[in-house]
Amino acid sequence: MPTIVLVHGAFHGGWCWEPLLPELADRGIDAVTVDLPLTTLNDDAAAIVAVLDAADGPVTLLGHSYGGAPITVAGNHPAVERLVYLTAMAPDDGQNATGTDVQIGDDFMSAFRLADNGLPEVDPARAPEIFYPDVDSATAAALAAKLRPGNTGGADLVERAAWHDRPTHYVVCNDDPILLAESQRAIAERIGATVHQLPGDHSPFVARPAALADILAPIVAG
């Protein structure tokens, strides 16, 4: 069975993929999730490598948002057959996790702050509308309650960007209020990715899991 390894973005955890998993299973795809420590880029990449070491056969490696940075590092693992960036960052050799071409929406930036423990977070009162604007308010609030503070790469730099050496796809979310669509398209062009498009917000695995699975299934099948 084809396998995809799913890597979440900043402030999230492997729980965020739960709506997508049954959709992938229905399409004959085995999905494995990763929980990033959100400490440094290299630590996050190491968490992915540990999952890849246990993988049975070649995998497709997907990173969402900040998760695109650690898959750029971990994607050099020999088990990785191809990469998928889902409205994600894709730094180049010698760059930090953010890389270039990144335009972040004003609402997200104005809600960005330091938590009591000194780690970055998004204001919990505003997180539901920022991360999950396309679902009902109760669902958005329940998801936002699971978010956690965490770093997004720190000072670590990419040694070798895996997208130079792996077939790469980029899923653009056209109405994303966080990583703006124009920026997503610029990143996709820079890394030479095959582009796929979805309507809607930054979190299609929540709001449009079936549509996202329809895009991913033929990619994973190769």
The overall pTM is greater than 0.95: yes
pLDDT tens digits, 73-126: 999 999 999 999 999 999 999 999 999 879 999 999 999 999 999 999 999 999
Task: Report the alpha-carbon distance of residue 75 to residue 158 in Å, rounded.
Answer: 11
Beta strands in 35-79 (DSSP E): 59-64
Buried b (16+ CB within 10 A) or exposed e, 184-198: bbebbeebebeebeb
> What domains can be seen in the chain, in order of their start residue?
3-102+150-221 (3.40.50.1820)
Mean pLDDT of 141-161: 96
Mean pLDDT of 4-13: 98
Say yes or no to pLDDT of 1 above 80. no
CB-based contact 171:202 (threshold 8 Å): no
Mean pLDDT of 59-80: 98
Q: Which residues pair with 113 in a beta bridge?
A: 121
pLDDT tens digits, 19-42: 999 999 999 999 999 999 999 999
- Residue 200 gets the label, from left (phi > 0), alpha (psi -120 to 50) or beta, of left
Q: What is the dihedral of CA 111, 177, 60, 217, to 10 degrees?
A: 140
Strand 3-7 relative to strand 80-86: parallel, antiparallel, unpaired? unpaired
Mean pLDDT of 128-157: 96
**Residue owning tokens 């730099």:** 157
Task: Report the alpha-carbon distance of residue 129 to residue 137 in Å, rounded.
Answer: 8
List the end-to-end C-alpha distance of the chain, in Å, as a whole number. Answer: 12
Mean pLDDT of 177-198: 97
In this prediction, residue 57 carries a pLDDT of 82
